[in-house]
Structure 1
Amino acid sequence: MANSKVSMKLLIDNSKVRRVLFAEASKDCVDFLFHILSLPVATVIRLLRAEGMKGSLPNLYKSLEDLNDTYLLPNHSKDAFLKPVVPVSTSTLPLLALPAAPTTQKNFYRCSGCNNNSYNSSYKHVSDDPRATCPSCSRVMNISVAYVDPPATEVASKEGGLVKGVVTYMVMDDLKIKPMSTISSITMLNKFNVKEVGSLEEKVVDLGMNEAIKLLKTSFETNNVLTTIFC
């Protein structure tokens, strides 16, 4: 990834209580914001535990984290739940994506009876537990079978991400997002009853990892996300 940050331009009203009216954002920034929706719950908990995440979900996470592996079923890993793979487009900036958990090797087994010395025949039953019993010949299914990965999915668009980059987007204080236009900007100023243009301030802010975590945490606590973080 060439960049480590994305940026947005805030329009701040200083007339009364200092507040963010809305932000002007590019495709990269909007892709990042929508990327938050794809984060698994466990990833959100892992990101926010150090920030003092409230509620009982951190306790649930900690319980599985502390659970001894002897209590897990075969072919199951705690990391599949604690560190799930986060869907990421290679051309977007996944600021909240953590290093992917090591891929758990998939092991499958067949019995030693149904296909013994029969090259052209195919076995009908496969198990992920070497202690399983074949329903056809009643033998233990402990013969390892090689697992073949599916073909890689081709990227549908060279642009990458989710939204198109031909327009600028408006991000509201409560993270509502829509395409931006001159008319929509004027409408927003009227909606917020802005009387003096001189009280407005433009401010460009960067979103790095620290700001990204603050944004995620604040979005659970208030509708005035941008104001809370940047004002």
Structure 2
Amino acid sequence: MASTAIPEQISLRVVVDKEQNRVLYAEAGKDFVDILLSFLTLPLGTIARLVSRDSNTKPCRFGCISSLYESVGNLDPKYLNSETCKQMLLQPRNSMERYNQNLKLNIDDTEPTKYYACIDCLFQGPSLVTTFKNMKCKCGRNFTFLLNPCKWLLCSPLLSGSDKNASGDAGDNTWEGYVKETASFIISDDLSVTPANFNTTLCLLKNLRSECLPEESTVVLSSNEILDLLKYLLISKTALTDSLLRKEHSLMYSDTSFKITDERQDRESTGTMKIKVLMSKSKSKILFAQVEEDFMDQLLSFLTFPLGAVERVLEGNSGAVCVDKLYNSLFNFDSTVDLTSENLKNMFANLMIAPYFNVDNQMVPIDELKYPSELSVCSNEHAIGPYYLTADASLYLRVVRRVRMCDPKPPIAEGKSSNGYAKSRTKFMVADDLSVKPFSSHHVLSSLLTELKVPHHDLEERTIRIGVQEAVSILKASMVSTSALTIGLKEFLSNNIKEEGETKTRSSG
């Protein structure tokens, strides 16, 4: 009889206040803390996809990000630059995927990055390489020839990107997660992570609310429990208690908990774009926005942003309490004592979008990870492969071809230079929850008459200029509310003035 594989599991020691039925803290080592830190590397679109699934708890919504993600899934690819664009947005790559590949429990099912060449061009002339199979090459054939990437081809923005040796084995622990095997940590109920020491223990004693000795137990976690934890990370202030003690929770956001803070005030608006919004005057609520591809690209790019990168932009104050606590815990780590690499702390402070996932004139200040400028396909055999994609051809016996990576968003054969997702000269209709559709008068009328039931006399049209501050504010609102446009633009709407039939904001000039 065939054996059944045993699912991976990890153990976690938790200390519980039985009187109040809450987790006081947990003691954890590498396996669990690596998983927590990996959450910060996940693109927002990946998180929306994962939390929409059943685990021990029901699926949950990730603010407006879930609505945006689902509407992209329903969008006809003809409204995007290529079919690859839809694939990129629904399966956004993680720029730190190499660090997550050996997690004891990895709930991210995004397909690992692979590299493809057009076999005809590779052996006959100038050649391109892409990370998406079956894209059309400029010669008209598909990219189907799989290359073996060397370990150091793309590791981090702070490493050289060159291969350490031909086998791809650098002899260190760079890909072995984030924290050292010997490290020990205390995790609070709100997912604050602190290296275990005397000071941490005394702080725990000070914060105990009961004189009774708390009870210690060991819980076994599988993928379902980790997915539960990711859900509660987004919507709870007590993620360990809610996920481990099975407390009833609505798994829903409360829009009233969101507050605009001052983190935008010093941000420079280097570029602006205009959008038209239709509002309910009585409710001061944005119903829809009519936008073009430039603003649409800004919204779609939200799905590609790593959670930790968004936290950096929002200065650790997204409004999602446990996410903020986890991110701000990074300052507690000692780079030489706790982490597998001294570079990791800086890397988390500067998490990037995966290569080629950014858009033109990206307003939200998150950089894109770049491939080395010079790449080669090489082999250690004079005859047939295997063939390696490398940044250091000197490590191999034979150089097959110098190659370059290509942006997968625009069709190569058409020679388009646009670096965005949305089809140019296309109008889109964006709802308050960031769900998107191609613009249609029928869609607008149908929503107003049947869903929203807003009378004509209550409608007001405005034109708003969107700059960096507005884009960041919409992003923040999209994380913790279901009214990203109304809440994100509230401050800017209140400063509107009418001028020659249009409404403009003083703040954006």
Per the normalisation by structure 2, the TM-score is: 0.35
Checking the alignment, whether the CA contact within 8 Å between 1:84 and 1:100 is kept in structure 2 is no
Aligned to 2:151: 152
1:61 shift after superposition: 1.2
Paired residue for 1:8?
Answer: 12
Aligned to 1:42: 45
What displacement does 1:30 show? 0.5
Which residue of 28, 31, 51 corresponds with 1:28? 31
Letter in 2 for 1:56: C
Deviation at 1:224, TM superposition (A): 0.8
- The answer on whether the counterparts of 2:29 and 2:182 sit within 8 Å (CA) in structure 1 is no
Gaps of 5+ in 2: 1-5, 54-58, 153-167, 246-509
What are the Cα deviations for residues 2-22 of structure 1, in whole angstroms up to 9, with x where unaligned? 97122210111124x221111
| Counterpart Cα distance in 1 of 2:140 and 2:50 | 41
2: distance between equivalents of 1:152 and 1:178? 31
Equivalent residue number for residue 79 of structure 1: 87
Q: Does 1:189 align with 2:205?
A: yes
Contact 2:233 2:239 in 1 (8 A): yes
Pick from 181, 198, 202 the counterpart of residue 216 of structure 2: 202
Contact 2:28–2:185 (Cα < 8 Å) also in 1: yes
- Give the whole-Å Cα distance in 2 for the aligned partners of 1:130 and 1:164: 43
CA–CA distance in structure 2, aligned partners of residues 74 and 105 of structure 1: 18
Q: Distance in 1 between matches of 2:225 and 2:47?
A: 15
Q: d(CA) in 2 for partners of 1:80 and 1:91?
A: 23
- 1:100 maps to a residue whose letter is E
| Post-superposition CA distance 1:17-63 (Å, at most 9, x none) | 22111101011111011111111111101111231315332221122
Alignment of 1:1-231 (within 5 A): 4-15=8-19, 17-50=20-53, 51-53=59-61, 55-74=63-82, 76-86=84-94, 87-88=97-98, 89-100=100-111, 142=139, 151-153=150-152, 154=168, 156-157=172-173, 160-197=176-213, 200-231=214-245
User: What stretches of structure 1 of length at least 5 have no aligned partner?
Assistant: 111-118, 132-140
Per the alignment, in what secondary structure is the counterpart of residue 186 of structure 1? helix
CA distance in structure 2 between the partners assigned to 1:76 and 1:104 by the alignment: 15
The percent of aligned pairs where both chains have the same amino acid is 24
**CA displacement at 1:65 relative to structure 2:** 1.2
Per-residue Cα deviation, 1:73-121 (whole angstroms, up to 9, x for no partner): 24734221111234143432243211417858566xx9xxxxxxxx9xx
Equivalent position SS for 1:93: coil
Residue 331 of structure 2 is matched in structure 1 by none
Task: Please give the secondary structure, in 1, of the residue aligned with 2:15.
Answer: strand
CA-atom RMSD in angstroms: 3.7
Partner SS state of residue 34, structure 1: helix
> How many residues are matched?
208
- Worse overlay, 27-36 or 187-196: 187-196
Shift in Å, 1:158: 6.5
Higher relative contact order (CA 8 A, sep 6+): 1
Change (3 A) 1:42 1:54: closer
Change (3 A) 1:81 1:105: farther
Aligned residue type for 1:80: M
> Does the CA-based 8 Å contact 2:17-2:24 persist in structure 1?
yes
Contact preservation (8 Å) 1:35, 1:94: no
User: Distance in 2 between the 1:213 and 1:130 partners?
Assistant: 37
Specify whether residues 189 and 23 from structure 1 end up closer, same or farther in structure 2 by C-alpha distance, changes over 3 A only.
Answer: same
TM-score by length of 1: 0.72
Q: In structure 2, how many angstroms separate the alpha carbons of the residues matched to 1:93 and 1:143?
A: 42
Kept in 1: contact 2:9–2:105 (CA 8 A): no
Query: Which residue is equivalent to 1:137?
Result: none
Residue 28 of structure 2 contacts residue 187 of structure 2 at CA under 8 Å; is this kept in 1?
yes
Give how far 1:151 is off: 3.6
Q: What SS class does the counterpart of residue 45 from structure 1 fall into?
A: helix
Give distance in 2, aligned partners of 1:145 and 1:83: 20
Query: CA separation in 2, counterparts of 1:211 and 1:96?
Result: 10
| Cα distance, 1:67 vs structure 2 | 2.2
